[in-house]
Structure 1
Amino acid sequence: MSSAAAPPAGARPRVLMLSPYFPPAEQGGGSVQAVLNLTRHLRDDFEFVVATRDHDLRGTQPFSAASQHAARQATGLDIHYLAGGMSGARQLHSLLRQPFDLVYLHSLMAPDLGLWPLLCRRWLAAAHGPLLVAPRGELMPGALAQRSRAKRVYLALLRGTGLLRGVQFHATGSDEAQAIQAALGGSAPPHVAADLPPPQLPATETDDAPRRPGPLRVLFLSRIDPVKNLGFALKVVSGMSCEIEFDIAGPIGNDQVWADCQGLMRALPAHIRTRYLGAVAHAEVAPMMAAHDVFFLPTLGENHGYVVAEALAAGCPVLLSDRTPWRGLQSAGVGADLPLDDVLAFQRVLATQAAMSNDERREQRARCRTYAQQRLTADASVAAMRELLTRLAQPNARIVSTSAGQSGGR
């Protein structure tokens, strides 16, 4: 990747960010924080314009005018909240007719903010610069395994109709880069640049008081859908002999998955107690993490895992599958990342956590906070993302050179 200087003050490239969810949305998952953090770090280098849905995940009502205004004030961004249906499609079509140096999609699968912009791009090819797509984990194997046939047909149609011709892709790590190439075919690699952490880690109160006696406090905090794999977590705890309080928090993204999980919860032995806490506002995440002994997320695949970073920053050790970028947790002494075919390994970790002394637990929580600070140092990641967007937003980037091996088009 060649070096590119940041644009001079007063000549910021204009970048249109299309994200299914953005503040005041609270339940849209890690992609909300990914886009928000990017704009926070790079707002002095680029003029960001954001287009997003006018409601939260599974929300039935649009955001109020007051909450939209508050989000614009808090972020300092020009945010366009799109209505559903044809009204929103017309809004986005009108917005795409404006000149932008780069159009940056944060979904490939969303019909309104993935497919529709690709169609508009075909019709308005001369109206804007290059198009960059960050699939945000949508092309990871675990995600593609859900409704697999429909997704494979959709991707084949995108390729076959030429809608991906000249489109470039952003992966947040080598695993996602491989997944994108496997899903889309061809050999041209995506751009790889890590997602950016918050400019400041969330502040949490350090509690060095001895832990109260009682059950191991385990937290699952994520959207309830097949990829997050809550059912596996319930099966793991069902075989534990120690007392466990298992709290489940997050929006219900799939009704059938939640119904299946409720059945598993009803069958748990008496010494395993569960609570569903519902969807959680982002401001409540850090204190909730700090109040638990283990954060448990046996996900089928994550391209980043912002919630993992939030857990560690709050001093909460994590128990994960080995399908996230968060690896080597055992050697760091901050948790474990394990294969999903080894249920006993997950149970051994929970048993070890339950048997810890107060001193051991206090030392582990301090390691988690230190690890989060070190892992989330942003300087190199910010520089890499700035360089990528600057290079793509240059006028000569409007003609994509496939010989450079950077085009995602097929």
Structure 2
Amino acid sequence: MLKQRAQQSVDNEEYGCMLKILCIADYYQPGFKAGGPITTIANMRETLNPEVSLCIFTRDRDLGDVSSYDNVEVGRWLQRPNGPIFYAPPAQFGPLGIKKIMSDGNFDAIYLNSFFSAKGSIGPYFAQKTTTGKIPIIIAPRGEFSPAALKIKRLRKLFYIKNSNLLRLYRDVFWHASSKMEADDILKVFPDARDRIRVALDPVSDRALSRQAAHVRKEKVAGEIRIVFISRISPIKNLDGLLDILQMSRSNIILDIFGPIEDMEYWHACKLKISSLPRNICTNYYGPLEHNNVASTFALYDLFAFPTHSENFGHVIFESICAGTPVIVSDKTPWQGGQEDGINVIPLRDRTGWASAIDAMAALDEDEHTRLRKAVESYGRNFAKSSDIRRENISMFRSIVDHEW
């Protein structure tokens, strides 16, 4: 039975917030297996408070887990420094539970962090459509409309998109795009949404800049390189593509892989490629990495190689930058930079270019590599201090709630 006591309601005055947004997310902290969206939401809460309070309604467990988080009370609003959080058990993270949360909360808007999630987006969207006293709905697709993402379970997604357009189900929804690239992807799926798209870069936390490695990084030796890959093990992250690239390298390489296995069949294919790598390449898999350990892990390595097929933002890239670890990344993310910044963007199709860039990085000695690390850290510091990101996000919520459209 669902209960909502008066003292468990969300108190807007307690936080002194101008706007109160119900943020529905399939997964949130202390979870980490769902990747970037968890970091995005956490950074938004920290950055936009107190002007905007994101009240989190989420599952009581991490991706793939069968039990609730340890030491987390479920089924009620918990007051936290950056706003309240509600960890819902499976029976409550559904249409009836979400509809009750919506009706009891007196929210200014509903913010959904997926388009295709049945319980985290589609269910809440239709629950709100049948609720009196309707409020604006904002959907952040989180990269789900990128060409690479749409290829996964393609027929099912295209069927839902086609019928949504035919019935104009999302004609009054607002869209949060985290980049111009994502705004273009949204328009390709919903051509009539142009006037309802708001572009605001995902906030980042400057706390990441202070999370340094607890251990001393080994000295960089010319001709050798320690590469790290931190991401979910799934086709869209393209670990197998990185393994193909390394086949072309002549340097002595250690590749350490961290991340939850999301697609076991894909991981088996990767392991076959690992078994055929030449002797100059040593590969290790260390499993999932909790978010609090990501920056300190990055700091131990010489390079983050990330030939991803698609990133909506790529918080893992920013974590590497904050740790001072140079990055080679594909052209399928919003990130830009130059080799002098330690951020090398290379087209995904240019595998020879990727192999050459890795070999060039391997050729650096300790002094050369240290200079590059300092350039990366400076880039991250300047990016984190940008006030435009915070202003863009607050303006997005304010303009929608105030009907400035």
TM score, norm. by length of structure 2: 0.89
Counterpart of 2:72 in 1: which secondary structure? helix
RMSD of aligned C-alpha atoms?
2.3
Q: 1:151 to 1:15 in 2, by over 3 A?
A: same
Change (3 A) 1:208 1:363: farther
Alpha-carbon distance change, 56 to 340 in structure 1, aligned in 2, over 3 angstroms: same
3-state secondary structure, aligned to 1:259 = helix
Report the CA distance shift for 1:156/1:122 in structure 2 as closer, same or farther (over 3 A): same
Report the identity percentage: 27
Q: Aligned pair in 2 of structure 1 residues 369, 25: CA closer, same or farther (>3 Å)? A: same
Q: Do the aligned partners of 2:79 and 2:85 also contact (CA within 8 Å) in 1?
A: no
Residue 376 (structure 2) aligns with: 368
1:42 aligned onto 2:48? yes
Aligned-pair CA distance for 1:77: 2.6
What SS is found at the alignment partner of 2:87? strand
Correspondence 1:328 to 2:334: no
**Alignment equivalent of 1:390, drawn from 380, 384, 398:** 398
Match of 1:30 in 2: 36
Secondary structure at the aligned position of 1:200 is classed as: helix
Partner of 1:3: none
Q: For the residues of structure 2 that align with 1:167 and 1:181, how far apart are their CA atoms?
A: 13
Which ranges of structure 1 fall in alignment gaps of 5 or more residues? 1-6, 405-410
Q: Does 1:317 align with 2:334?
A: no
Verify: 1:268 aligned to 2:277, yes or no: yes
The 5 Å alignment of 1:40-189 reads 40-66=46-72, 72=78, 75-84=81-90, 88-98=94-104, 99-124=106-131, 126-186=132-192, 188-189=194-195
Corresponding residue number in structure 2 for 1:256 = 265
2:294 to 270, 285, 288: 285
Q: Are 1:218 and 1:292, in contact at CA under 8 Å, matched by a contact in 2? A: yes
The 3 A distance-change label for structure 1 pair 128 and 10 is farther
Q: Distance in 2 between matches of 1:32 and 1:115?
A: 19
Q: How many Å separate the matches in 1 of 2:230 and 2:17?
A: 42
Cα separation, 1, equivalents of 2:176 and 2:285: 35
- Asked if the contact 1:40/1:199 (under 8 Å) is kept, the reply is no
Opposite residue 288 of structure 1, the aligned amino acid is: T
Note the C-alpha offset of 1:30.
Answer: 1.0
Q: How many residues align?
A: 387
Amino acid at match of 2:301: H
How far did residue 263 of structure 1 move? 1.1
Residue in 2 that maps onto 1:346 = 354
| In 2: Cα distance, 1:80 partner to 1:72 partner | 6
Name which structure has the greater RCO, CA cutoff 8 Å, separation 6+: 1
Look up the match of 2:20.
14
In 2, Cα distance between the equivalents of 1:93 and 1:187?
26
SS state at 1:234 partner: helix
TM-score by length of 1: 0.88
- 8 Å contact from structure 1 (residues 319, 335) kept in 2: yes
- 2:208 equivalent to 1:201: yes
Whole-Å Cα distance in 2 between the matches of residues 49 and 365 of structure 1?
37
Deviation at 1:73, TM superposition (A): 6.1
Deviation at 1:12, TM superposition (A): 2.5
Which letter maps to 1:240?
S
Deviations 1:326-378 (A, max 9, x none): 12333x43131111111110000110011101111010000000011112223
Say if 1:55 and 1:187 are closer, same or farther in 2 by CA, change over 3 A.
Answer: closer
